[in-house]
Structure 1
Amino acid sequence: MTAATLFRSFPRRAAVLGLLCLATALLATWIIDRRSRAGGAAAAASEAQDEAAIMAASLKSELDKFSLVPLVLAEDPQVGALLLGASSEADLLDRRLATLARQTNAAAIYLMNADGLTIAASNWDRPTSFVGSNYNFRPYFRNALARGSATQFALGTVSREPGLYIAQRVVSGGRPTGIVAVKVEFDDLEAGWRAASDGVFVTDAEGVVLLTSNDGWRFHATGPQRGAARNRSVDRRQFGVDIVPPLLPDPIGLKVGLVKSPLLDTEQPIALDGWVLHLLANPSSQIDAAVARGRYYLLLVATIAAGLLALAFVFRRRRSLQEEVAIAQRTRTLREQLNQANRLATLGQIAAGVGHEINQPVAAARLFAENGAALIATGRLDDAQTNFARIVDLADRIGRITAELRLFSRRDAPDPQEMPVAKPIEGALLLLHDRIAGMAVTLTLPDEETLTERVRAEPVRLEQVIINLLQNALDAAGEGGVIAIAVTTEARSCFVSVIDNGPGIAEDMRDRMFHPFATTKSDGLGLGLVISRDIMRDLGGDLVVGESNRGTRMTMKIPRA
């Protein structure tokens, strides 16, 4: 094939390739959409099943609570006595029932004799009182009288409010003497359903809606076949309607006026007269989300395929970044090792003084112990106790010194923390106490209130900087010199200055004093100030040379807490 022929055939090949890619993309989209819709519907169904189980358990718990009330009252002596005519305290029982209704949140609790006449009720003092009403026509009354217990959901004949009637037979001397009944209304439960779901309703064994999140659904049948061939007189007494209309054309929940979009109907049985809880769930959001995720993954795959062309550049850039990270890590490691070496060198310089600081209290403790033993032998217990208290104080001082040494020599500094600025200053002075005392240096400290200023830093590294500055100040001030530590604050920073009355810093040295290996000491390495400034900058502060009339003023800038 010639070049001209190849050139002429290229548009055709590009068009075929483009159409193939388009067809592949459309096919992949169709497959992913179909599977995503199925997966979204399954996830919605599973979620609805879990939610329906929770709602059913909540309703069953509510029913179990109310079922105990008539059982307990049927055994109550006052109830039995009133039914047998041995007591005339109906008013007292009315008040007891009213109190119990308030405590259990029951709509009404009432007592009927064997003829169905209500002789006591919790609503005795209301216009809708049951007292004097006869309910022997109610199935729950007849069934409870015959079988011992019964339930019925019906519209109230007086209140016209729907509710569940739970009845329990009262037996005395082997014969039934009356019925205790509790009416339960579910207004709060239905309000919670309305706020939490697309639609919830509970049907009886015949498919009639009893409880519902939508009042317009109550006393409807779940399907045309459920509402046919019913006893109109029974429905009129129980539900207040002659004909129970169908809720939907089928029990699945398709749109016909009441429900506007296809819904999942999740059923959960409840162990009460064949009740079933129905949760209508709209799966649209889960399906849409699943489709969106599927398309996102498809786009992601396409993007990854296109991105393969740039992998070489990415890998090269990644190697470069890894090398930079490795160099930075090595640099940090070297700086940490240098900081640790500086701390250990400082400890070496003050080791003799710390040894003297420890040997003195050890010798004193031994002397106090020997004297204490002698005092005990002579019966001078109070004086001996004083000696032992002094020994305890000396041991505490030794403990503070050794603890400060261990903390200062640690390789890993603790994380930044809030602390009073006095803490690192006191630690540094504890380690340098012997050298300061031995050189007869006059040391001036800030007042106690100023030392309470709180800063945020790493205490060990901050103490390391203060020790470096104090060591330099002691070298500059010499025997009998004067050193001052000053603390000042601004809005976000605390400044700690170490001031000495030494000869000061020469102008040519001032410009390069923070350069590595720049020193005026014959035995110095010139790294102390470099390390100290690096530490302060790592902590978010700085180390600078301040102005001083005489000698040297080094100032640490520390972030305030």
Structure 2
Amino acid sequence: MTFLTKSRQRKALLSLFLCLGLAVSLSISYWYLLTQGTAHIAATSTKQLNELVLFWRHALDRYETIPKVLSNNPLLADALKDNKNKAKIDKLNHYLQEIQQATHASDIYLIDAQGITLAASNWQLSDKFINQDYSFRPYFIDALKGEQGRYYAVGTASDKRGYYFSYPVSSANEVLGVIVVKMDIDALENQSLGIANASGFEFMISDPDDVVFLASINSWRYAALTPLTQNKRHKLNASKRYATRSITELSIKPAYVEDFYSFGSSEQVSNAMAMQTQPQVFTINLVTSPKRYLKISETMPAAKWRVHILAPMSPLYNTLPTALLLAGTLYLLFVLAIIYSFERRRYYSQMSNAKEQLEQRVKLRTAELEHSNHKLKHTQEELIQAAKLTVIGSLSASINHELNQPLAALRSYAQNTQAFMQRNMIDKANENIHIMIQLTDRLADIIGQFKSFTRKSQGQDNAVEIATTITQALVIVKPEIEKCHITLRTHLPSGRCQIWGDGLRLQQVLVNLMTNAIAAMEHTQVKTLAIKVRCDNKIIITIQDSGPGVMESQLDKIFEPYFTTSERQGLGLGLSISERIIGSMQGSITVENASQGGAIFSIILPAHLIEKA
């Protein structure tokens, strides 16, 4: 009875120890995973924030100097001095329209000293800015003081969002008016949205009043991050910054700290930026349900914007249960490994048997892989052979023509010889027979060359003479060259120029590239095929045609298996096979477009023997 009690106590203590260890293990794992995951998200968000801020700075910098440059044009000062002169105003309207179209700005307009628009690039539209009063706009007030103005707002006339750059137009140290360039931010917001979607984060940009005016989520746009007090609503309405837009409050927890002071002195800006770049987790109520984000911000002092990156925390939270389950499983496995470590000796013989069985399976699997490799090699050989026959098939019409010519001549000479024999003109008959022998020799050479090309390679490497191989390949394609009236230009080495490889397969590659070049020139008027060989430390064979060349988008894909174009038939295996053949010879094959038109295919092979003539 005492033994059973002690046994139960030991089991109870062991179970308690295991549960406490499991709890500690899960707690440490949870803390570590959450800390490391948050740190990783923060690091990624910082990089994304820097990229987004840089994007917007570059976008704003494109238009910042345009008003200052335009202010130096005497057309503006003349129009402001003589604002009743319709001809000058019309000329200025057309000038501003041309500048707007050239710079892709949203609008460009000139305001007189009273704040009334005198000329605008949209003078021909129904919602033109001419005669509109913009004296209340901060960018006008700043420029009238002789300073450059920058301001974000929704247009009161166009009802479109934009960022405004302004600069004073002066004459004799007197400010006559203000030139304004409006930048459309809708397209830039869409580009930022594309960046955010691709990187898996959300963003918002707020003004000094903490009102969001650019965002990746529609419900965030025109929402205040801080409470809308009566004074703030009055200020927003008075500035007309958002025209008729309704400003709401964004439901965010914990409460967002108002940091308008960050647009003050340079020291305040630096402190605010340092504070805002510290990551913080917020819960924001969306249309469907609340969602938690890790927010990190950066101030753009010149634009008086604050850019916020909000990385969803849900991916991290979703991985925590699985990670904790894995941590608990590993803990239990570790404990079980300790408990049953002594039991493994009992199964030593079983493990030994299992090892022997595993070795047998490995041997069997190795034999199966060797068999599969043998079948794959055989299939590759068949594929290469099929590619040869495909080339011959594409040249069949020209080959038929090349064979029919000497056959027709043979028939004619045979008939003449028969007539000469009947007339007892032995000498004439002998001459005809001699010519017929030459014709049969020519037929034998042609058929022999095609027979040599179509036979299967033995896979044996030896010294291959480049000039001879090219000449043999030209015999194959020469009928097609003559049929298509193509001018052939060759520059072959006069001395010995050899590589080490399979000559028959190199000949197949050359025939394939030549037939591709011939096909590429099908619809061109000037048809020239140039083949050159340069012998140095490496041997470079170039095949250049005068066709339309290869599209830039296809240059990187042209050697991929099954890649072809809609203009040509076939499976798209010829160039892929050619690349593999050249690669097996320790070489490479490249393609580029010639400056004068046409494609250039280059075969680069290591030299085996080079002797100059």
Please give the residue correspondences for 1:49-448 in structure 2 after superposition, counting only pairs within 5 Å: 49-85=46-82, 88-195=87-194, 196=197, 199-224=202-227, 227-230=229-232, 232=234, 235-236=237-238, 237-240=240-243, 245-248=248-251, 250-251=255-256, 253-256=282-285, 260-289=290-319, 292-293=322-323, 295-300=325-330, 302-303=332-333, 306=336, 309=341, 447-448=448-449
Q: Please give the alpha-carbon distance, in whole angstroms, between the structure 2 residues aligned to 1:117 and 1:262.
A: 47
- Partners of 2:108 and 2:217 in 1: how far apart? 27
8 Å CA contact 2:96–2:121 kept in 1: the answer is yes
Deviates more, 1:242-251 or 1:177-186: 242-251
Over 3 Å counting, the alpha-carbon distance change for 1:459 and 1:203 in structure 2 is: same
Give the distance between the partners of 2:325 and 2:92, measured in 1 at CA: 69
Is the 2:29–2:327 Cα contact (8 Å) retained in structure 1? no
Distance 2:458 2:350 in 1: 39
> 1:324 Cα shift?
9.3
Cα deviation digits, residues 426-465 of structure 1 (max 9, x gap): xxxxxxxxxxxxxxxxxxxx9332332486885349x9xx
In the TM superposition, residue 74 of structure 1 has moved relative to its aligned partner by: 1.4
SS of the aligned residue for 1:171 comes to: strand
Whether 1:20 aligns to 2:24 is: no
Distance of aligned partners of 1:457 and 1:57 in 2 relative to their CA distance in 1, 3 Å threshold: farther
Aligned residue-pair number: 354
SS at match of 1:116: coil
Q: How far apart in 2 are the matches of 1:261 and 1:114?
A: 50
Q: Residues 302 and 77 (structure 1 numbering): CA distance in 2 closer, same or farther, change over 3 Å? A: farther
- How far did 1:315 drift? 8.9
Q: Secondary structure at the match of 1:147?
A: coil
Following the alignment from structure 2 to structure 1, what is the Cα–Cα distance between the partners of residues 232 and 122? 33
Q: CA deviation at 1:253?
A: 3.8
Distance in 2, Cα, partners of 1:93 & 1:452: 75
- Does the aligned pair in 1 maintain the 2:109–2:117 contact within 8 Å? yes
Q: Residues 222 and 246 of structure 2 are in contact (CA less than 8 Å); yes or no, is this contact kept in structure 1? A: no
Give the corresponding residue for 1:352: none
* Cα distance in structure 2, aligned partners of 1:313 and 1:80: 102
Tell me the distance in 2 between the aligned counterparts of 1:457 and 1:7: 82
Return the match for 1:34 from 31, 39, 59.
Answer: 31
For 2:354 and 2:109, how far apart are their aligned partners in 1?
81
Partners of 1:173 and 1:316 lie apart in 2 by 102
Output the CA distance in 1 between the equivalents of 2:326 and 2:458. 47
SS at match of 2:213: strand
1:459 matched to 2:489? The reply is no
Task: Note the alpha carbon deviations across 1:333-365, whole angstroms, 9 max, x for none.
Answer: xxxxxxxxxxxxxxxxxxxxxxxxxxxxxxxxx
Aligned residue type for 1:71: K
User: In the TM superposition, what is the alpha-carbon distance from 1:102 to its structure 2 partner?
Assistant: 3.4
* Distance 1:304-1:170 versus aligned 2 partners, 3 A rule: same
Q: Deviations over 1:514-544 (max 9, x none)?
A: xxxxxxxxxxxxxxxxxxxxxxxxxxxxxxx
Give SS of 1:459's match: coil
Equivalent residue, structure 1, for 2:370: none
Aligned to 2:40: 43
Deviates more, 1:97-106 or 1:86-95: 86-95
Matches of 2:108 and 2:126, distance apart in 1:
15
- Structure-2 separation of matches of 1:456 and 1:106: 66
| CA–CA distance in structure 2, aligned partners of residues 256 and 247 of structure 1 | 8
Secondary structure of 1:449's match?
A: helix
TM-score by length of 1: 0.53
Deviations 1:490-511 (A, max 9, x none): xxxxxxxxxxxxxxxxxxxxxx
Deviation of the 1:301 alpha carbon = 5.7
- For residues 33 and 233 of structure 1, do their structure 2 counterparts lie closer, same or farther at Cα, with a shift above 3 Å needed? closer
Q: Judge conservation of contact 2:224–2:249 (CA < 8 Å) in 1.
A: yes
In structure 2, do the counterparts of structure 1 residues 139 and 276 end up closer, same or farther at CA, with 3 Å as the change threshold? Answer: same
- Residues 1:174 and 1:457: Cα distance change in structure 2 (over 3 Å): farther
2:26–2:327 CA contact under 8 A, matched in 1? no
**Contact 1:153/1:210 (8 A) holds in 2:** no
Aligned in 2, Cα 1:85/1:33: closer, same or farther, shift over 3 Å? same
Q: Distance between the aligned counterparts of 2:203 and 2:13, measured in 1?
A: 55
Q: Matched residue of 1:123: which SS?
A: coil
Cα-to-partner distance string for 1:370-422 (whole Å, 9 max, x where unaligned): xxxxxxxxxxxxxxxxxxxxxxxxxxxxxxxxxxxxxxxxxxxxxx999889x
Displacement of 1:51 after TM fit? 1.4
Q: Which amino acid aligns with 2:224?
A: A
Is the 8 Å Cα contact of residues 110 and 120 (structure 2) preserved in structure 1? yes
Which residue of structure 2 aligns with residue 524 of structure 1?
Answer: none
Q: Distance in 2 between matches of 1:129 and 1:209?
A: 28
Amino acid at match of 2:460: P
Distance in 2 between residues matched to 1:455 and 1:21, nearest whole Å: 71
Judge conservation of contact 2:42–2:294 (CA < 8 Å) in 1: yes
Whether the aligned pair in 1 keeps the contact of 2:222 and 2:245 (CA below 8 Å) is no
Instruction: Note the C-alpha offset of 1:21.
Output: 2.1
Deviation at 1:285, TM superposition (A): 0.6
Distance in 1 (CA, whole Å) between partners of 2:16 and 2:232 is: 64
AA aligned to 1:52 is L
Counterpart-to-counterpart distance in 1, 2:172 and 2:349: 97
- Conserved in 2, the CA contact under 8 Å of 1:52 and 1:268? yes
Tell me, in whole angstroms, the C-alpha distance in 1 between the residues paired with 2:120 and 2:294: 43
**Cα distance in 2 between the residues matched to 1:154 and 1:243:** 14
**What is the CA distance between 1:58 and its match in structure 2?**
0.8
State TM-score, norm by structure 2.
Answer: 0.49
Shift of 1:39: 2.0
Q: Is the 8 Å Cα contact of residues 140 and 178 (structure 2) preserved in structure 1?
A: yes
Superposed CA offset, 1:145-199 (max 9, x none): 1032112222211112222221111122221122111122321232344452554
Tell me if the contact between 2:219 and 2:286 (Cα under 8 Å) persists in the aligned partners.
Answer: no
Find the residue that maps to 1:124 and give its secondary structure: coil
**Greater shift in the superposed pair: 186-195 or 300-309:** 300-309
Amino acid at match of 1:183: K
Does the 8 Å CA contact 1:33/1:291 hold for their aligned counterparts?
Answer: no
Q: Assess if the C-alpha contact under 8 Å between 1:227 and 1:245 holds in 2.
A: no
Structure number with greater Rg is 1
Q: C-alpha separation between the residues in 2 aligned to 1:53 and 1:313?
A: 62
Using the TM superposition, give the Cα deviation of residue 63 of structure 1 relative to its aligned residue in structure 2, in angstroms: 0.8
State the match for 2:472 in structure 1: none
Distance in 1 separating the partners of 2:146 and 2:189: 31
